[in-house]
Amino acid sequence: MTFAIRIKDSPTNNAWLFERTFATQDDFLAVATLCNNRQRAGFFKSLVVPVRTDNLKNFCKDFFLPTFFDHALRNTHDIGLLIISSIGCLASDLVTLVIRLFTAIPRYYANAKQPRPLHPFHQYLVANGADARLLNTDHVYLNLKYVEGQTGQMPMTWHGFRVNLGSFEEPHKYKKYQIDTEEVFNFIELPQFAGPIQVSQTKRGIPSSNGVQIEQVG
């Protein structure tokens, strides 16, 4: 039976900056439940509220030209698309500037209630001496791994979903189960494409009806 959490600051970094293994399922779930991943704001939300207010640089980007920085400048691989999207995003940002003017103050107070240092998982990393590169960023690359060697139903909740093997035919044939997720984890709400890491999530195994995937590994 294996339970593990691994974290790094970038998917291109081959070294995990924080690793923990757990002897029991309860110990693992006690930490996994702290991993409340904040949302990413899409194109239209970025137009009406300045998403980030944690520092002046981020606030200015998200207040004055949110979609230009977060969407248009992502198209550097295609100069034509970059020009077209830049014109469209700049026009959208200027037209909706007055809306963000009225939503900026309420957004600031809303963000102040859930800053990065108060996120439960961030506090866990601080308490366990995590690398400063993981503590001074708004998002990290997180890997959670669970391998269960028991037969029958798996008594656990994963990312808010109940994992139930009873829905599969002949569940007694499954000797060992594995859930292996890799995702971008956000300590605060961010624009959709903020930072060097694009939002992604991969799960390996047999898909169930609730979206959780299970893989027989032995």
Summarised one tens digit per residue, pLDDT across range 11-62 is: 888 889 999 999 888 888 899 889 999 999 999 999 999 999 999 999 999 9
Cβ pair 71, 43 in contact under 8 A: yes
Predicted model pTM: 0.75
- Rounded Cα distance between 123 and 143, Å, is 18
Q: Which residues contact 168 (CB under 8 A, 6 or more apart)?
A: 174, 206, 208
Pairing of strands 161-163, 190-191: unpaired
> What residue type is assigned to position 182 of the chain?
E
pLDDT classification of 1: cutoffs 50, 70, 90: low
